[in-house]
Each structure stands twice: as structure tokens, then as C-alpha cells.
Chains A and B, each alone.
Chain A
Amino acid sequence: MTYFRALDPFPLESADHTTLHEFYTRLGAGTLTTTKCRGCGRSAWPPRGFCAECGAAAFDWVDLASEGTVHAFTVQETGLPAGFEAPRVFAIVKVDGHRVFTVLTGAEPAALRVGQRVRLAPLRVADDPKGNPRWLPAFEVV
């Protein structure tokens, strides 16, 4: 079927489509990174091309820890968008002081608790229309 952007739930991650492509390249290699502003030195989550604090538009990529802790979670059992399997564990994970929205893969919902340690587990999703791999920053229980 012809590719239609309006039916594709995933970001277009390659250099053809986003100035933040390096984030996804590094994620595919197993590293979580974000942007650090060259103007004021603050790092942000998620990565951004314009600093909300000082207004600068220049940044460097910095690595974040590969582990974090669960700040909040919920288990969605029904009502997920087409293409997303239930049950799905949505979580906010604290990594180096940032709150990262994510899903926890392979988690046993009943055993989850706030404060639990989790680690980065990049999730490969559907390739983009040119066949490039795409990744999302998911986590798994340590």
C-alpha cells in the first residue's frame, strides 16, 4: 500500500526528515542521549533544537544514564490505538533528573512498583518508507 504520513504513528527519524536524527542513530546503537544547550549549558528532555531557558538554538549531544527509576506507571488493558498490543505498561522513568515518558517492555504488571529500577531497551518499530530502521526509547525492568 502507498505510504501515507497521516496513518504512520511513528516519527520520521532519518536525517532527511529531522534535525534531531542523531538522537535516533545513537538510540539504535543502544545509547540514550539528549541535547545540551551551548548557550546556558542546560540539558533538556526530550531533545530540542531551541532552548526554552535562554533561547539559544545551538546544542551538543550528551549521553544519559542507561538506567533509571519508575516515577509513575499504569497498565492499559483496553482502548489502545490500532497496532498497539494490550496490556501495555506506560511509565514515566526518571533518568539523570529528567522525566522520560516511555513503555516498559516485558514487565509483569502485578510486580511493578514506583521506585523500581529499569534500564534502556530500545524498541525497534516499523521501518520508515525508505526502509530505514526506526527506534523508540523503551525501558525494561532490571
Chain B
Amino acid sequence: MRRVALVGAGVSKFGVRKATYRDLVWEAGKACFDSVPGVKPKDLDGLVVGSVMPERTAFQSHISSMVAEALGIRPSALSARTEHMCASGTVGIRYAYAFIAAGLADLVMVLGVEKLNQPVADEAVLNMGTGVDREWEAAFGLTAPPCFAFAAQRHMAEYGTTEEQLAMVGVKNHTHAAKNPSAHFTKGATLDQVLGSRMIASPLRLFMCSPITDGAAAVVLASETRARALTDTPVWIRGTGQALDGFQLSSLHEDYAHWPALKRAAQAAYQMAAVGPHEIDLAEVHDCFSIAELIAYEELGFCHKGEAGPFVAEGRSDYGGDVVVNPRGGLIGCGHPLGATGVAQAAEVFVQLRGEAGARQVPAAALALTHNNSGMGEHVVMIYGKEPA
């Protein structure tokens, strides 16, 4: 297999945007092309678009061709859309990676985009129900919060994890987002604010949850030859893993605080990269809800099972700790425009490993991990390095 690197990355402003789906594509595309002056739209031989529900939110399918035309890309080797709910972006990166590693493409853009907010706010929540099983789950009014609430309830009962520890994830990620001008929320949050915010699904309160956000992000992946010609500071893909336990709540691990698929995805990625969890300098993990970040610490091997509460409370997942988790502000601080999230995680890793992250730079960052999930039983992990091996 050939080596593959990120050579460009850009994100749109995340938030409740006065913009169309296509406006967001243009904004992220422009930012990405600006980051790599040697690449023009027609130089790309491939495009993958991660996007979950434009059929409902923009009344638009046929997404890859629409985005290719919007950006002036003429794919000659790869054109595809990936839909894997909240993990669509990283699943798209894996497609592009595999095509380039196999020699089937040389220079591919992966763009993630979602326009979730609607003129009538309720419609956005209604649409989120498409992410769980319609017949056996969504018909009852289920969306994501109760699923992760089951995990939080169980983690608290089994390990003594506290509401304060759940809230500390919200405080940390809102604080990080305050240094990220692209984030949905840029004002930070205190422990009192998080604990005083309204209850969504017990024990998860508003500031422990990612909001409904519009946004887009794009990265360019290149073969080693093309990467070295385009930049002195490519960011290398070192490892990747994906694993699924199940789709419906009825088929996941009986103990909702245990996510074996994440452990398997991480092990595959670590093994491929030939690194271990304690070598990771920064991690962009899928904090759709604060409990997800806590369980991710454990399944990714940053701490032992059950120790995630003290891990965040002691600052071990913040600047100066063992590993800086979610320096861009995570999904809680940046918002979660589904298909864009995994690509935005990669874009953050790109600037961090090049030392270009400004106020939120992780000192001496050399090795980074991203974790994207599409439910408690479906996980994707990527490992990136400043060096190719």
C-alpha cells in the first residue's frame, strides 16, 4: 500500500447559519483550497462527500455530483457520497485513503456538509429521528439523547461517575471552543452554567450535549509523491480502524457503558500505526454527549475502565495533562453538523500537527487520533502523524 497524507484542510463557520447547503460547500471548499495553493479544483482526481440528510434538509440528493460542480472538481478516479450518520465524514476519509493507498487515485478531496437548521426549529429535531431505527425506535420519539443517557446512567451506577464529572467535559470543551473562531459556541462555560442548564434526558443537560449546527469541512488527501511535491509539512495517515457492534439498542452490549466496538476500532488503528494510546498527544473524540467522551477515554485506552470521571476531573484530558482531548472544542463546543464533524476533526489534526493551531496549539504535537461514532455501537478511529512512520 502507498502512503497517504493530508495536504490541505479548511472549515466553514459552524453555527445556525444564514446560508444554503451549497453556500456551506463553497465556504469550506474555499478555505481548504486556500490552505494548499498548489491544488486547484481541476487538479483533483477524486471527491467524496460525507453528508447525512440533505434529502430532508435541502430536498436534494445526487450530492457528490452537485458538490463537484459547485467547486469545479472533475473527478476522473473517484466520486462518491458517504452516509453513515454522525460518522459519515470519517467514513469518507477512509474511502479516499483506501483509493489512494491502492493506487486508484492520487489527489482526493473529502468534504463533509450538513444544513440541519430549518425555518421551523422543530423540523430539525424531527429529522434527527432518521438516525435510529424507524420501526422499532424512532416511532416512539427516540433521537440520540436518551440512548447516551442510558450509557450515562449505567456509568454512574457502575463506577460512581458524578454529574459534576459529566459537566466537566462540557466546561472543558466549551472553554476550548472559545479559542476557535469557527466554533458554534465561543463564550466558554462554567461548571455552574453546565450544571444549571436545562435537562434534556436525565442525567444529560443542555451544555453536556452537542447542538444542532450547520457547517462544512474539507480536507485534501494525496499520495506520497503528490504530497511531497505540494507541501513540506504533510500530515500522514498512520492507522485506521472501524468496527460495529450493532444498530438497535436491543443488539448493543447489554451494559450500555461498555462500547466494545470502539475498543476494537482503536486496537486496529493502533496496531496499524504501531503506536499505543499513551503516545497520542491530542485526540479529537466524538463528544456528541459528555458521557461519550468519558467512555471514549476508557475504550481508547487513555485510562482504565471506570476511571474516566477522575481522569477529566484531574485535568488529564486537558492542556498540560496526558492527552489534550478536543482542542477545537469538540462537538459540544463546535456543534455537530453530522457529515462535517469527522472531516472537521481531521482538519483540526491537520493544523495541530503542522503547528498552525494558534491559541489552541497543543505543544510539540506529533501524533493525533480522531474518533467518530454513529451510535454507541459503531465507531471509526484514525491515527495521524507528523512523520510518515
Contact with B along A89-112 (1 / 0, CB 8 A): 010100000111111000001000
Point out the residues of chain B lying under 8 angstroms from A92, CB to CB.
Answer: 150, 249-250
| Interfacial residues of chain B within 116-173, with CB under 8 A of chain A in the complex | 122-123, 125-126, 128-129, 134-143, 145-146, 149-150, 153-154, 157
Minimum distance in angstroms from B336 CB to a CB of chain A:
14
Contact at A79–B134, with CB atoms within 8 Å? no
A37–B277 Cα distance when bound, in Å, is 43
Minimum distance in angstroms from B255 CB to a CB of chain A:
9
Cβ-based interface call for A16 (8 A) = no
Contact with A along B198-209 (1 / 0, CB 8 A): 111110001000
Contact at A100–B56, with CB atoms within 8 Å? no
> Closest chain B residue to A11 by CB distance?
B135
* Interface residue tally for chain B (C-beta within 8 Å): 35
Contact at B254–A99, with CB atoms within 8 Å? yes
Q: A interface, how many residues as a size bin? A: 20 to 34
Point out the residues of chain A lying under 8 angstroms from B146, CB to CB.
Answer: 74, 76, 90
Known: A46-B250, A72-B153, A74-B153. A79 touches B143 (CB 8 A): yes
Cβ-based interface call for A81 (8 A) = yes
Point out the residues of chain A lying under 8 angstroms from B95, CB to CB.
Answer: none
Cβ-based interface call for B256 (8 A) = yes
Point out the residues of chain B lying under 8 angstroms from A138, CB to CB.
Answer: 140
Point out the residues of chain A lying under 8 angstroms from B206, CB to CB.
Answer: 78
Point out the residues of chain B lying under 8 angstroms from A84, CB to CB.
Answer: 140-141
Contact at B125–A9, with CB atoms within 8 Å? no
Point out the residues of chain A lying under 8 angstroms from B157, CB to CB.
Answer: 114
Point out the residues of chain A lying under 8 angstroms from B125, CB to CB.
Answer: 79-82
Point out the residues of chain B lying under 8 angstroms from A11, CB to CB.
Answer: 134-135, 139
Contact at B129–A75, with CB atoms within 8 Å? no
A109–B142 Cα distance when bound, in Å, is 17
A72–B154 Cα distance when bound, in Å, is 8
Contact at A75–B145, with CB atoms within 8 Å? no
Point out the residues of chain A lying under 8 angstroms from B140, CB to CB.
Answer: 84, 90, 101-103, 136, 138
Point out the residues of chain B lying under 8 angstroms from A76, CB to CB.
Answer: 141, 145-146, 149, 200-202
Partner of B249, one of A77, A80, A101: A101
Minimum distance in angstroms from A61 CB to a CB of chain B:
16
> Closest chain B residue to A84 by CB distance?
B141
Known: A45-B250, A90-B201. A81 touches B126 (CB 8 A): yes
Cβ-based interface call for B225 (8 A) = no
Cβ-based interface call for A10 (8 A) = yes
Contact at A6–B56, with CB atoms within 8 Å? yes
Contact at B150–A81, with CB atoms within 8 Å? no
Point out the residues of chain A lying under 8 angstroms from B193, CB to CB.
Answer: none
Contact at A75–B141, with CB atoms within 8 Å? no
Cβ-based interface call for A88 (8 A) = yes
Partner of B139, one of A6, A9, A77, A82: A9
Q: Which of A80, A82, A88, A92 counts the most B-chain CB atoms under 10 A from its CB?
A: A80
Cβ-based interface call for B76 (8 A) = no
Point out the residues of chain A lying under 8 angstroms from B123, CB to CB.
Answer: 82
Contact at B150–A72, with CB atoms within 8 Å? yes
> Closest chain A residue to B125 by CB distance?
A81
Contact at A101–B202, with CB atoms within 8 Å? no
Contact with A along B222-249 (1 / 0, CB 8 A): 0000000000000000000000000011
Minimum distance in angstroms from B77 CB to a CB of chain A:
35
Contact at A74–B135, with CB atoms within 8 Å? no
Contact at B145–A9, with CB atoms within 8 Å? no
A45–B134 Cα distance when bound, in Å, is 15
Contact at B128–A81, with CB atoms within 8 Å? yes
> Closest chain A residue to B130 by CB distance?
A6
Minimum distance in angstroms from A32 CB to a CB of chain B:
13
A98–B198 Cα distance when bound, in Å, is 33
**Chain B residues in the interface with A (C-beta under 8 A):** 56, 122-123, 125-126, 128-129, 134-143, 145-146, 149-150, 153-154, 157, 198-202, 206, 248-250, 254, 256
Taking A9-B141, A82-B126, A136-B140 as known contacts, 12 extra A-B pairs with beta carbons closer than 8 A to each other, sorted by chain A number, are A9-B126, A11-B135, A46-B250, A72-B153, A73-B150, A74-B201, A77-B202, A80-B141, A81-B125, A82-B125, A84-B141, A90-B141
A-B contact pairs, 9 of them (CB 8 A): A46-B136, A76-B145, A80-B125, A81-B129, A90-B141, A90-B150, A99-B250, A101-B137, A101-B248
Q: Which A-B residue pairs are the 5 nearest by beta carbons?
A: A84-B141, A74-B149, A90-B146, A82-B122, A76-B201
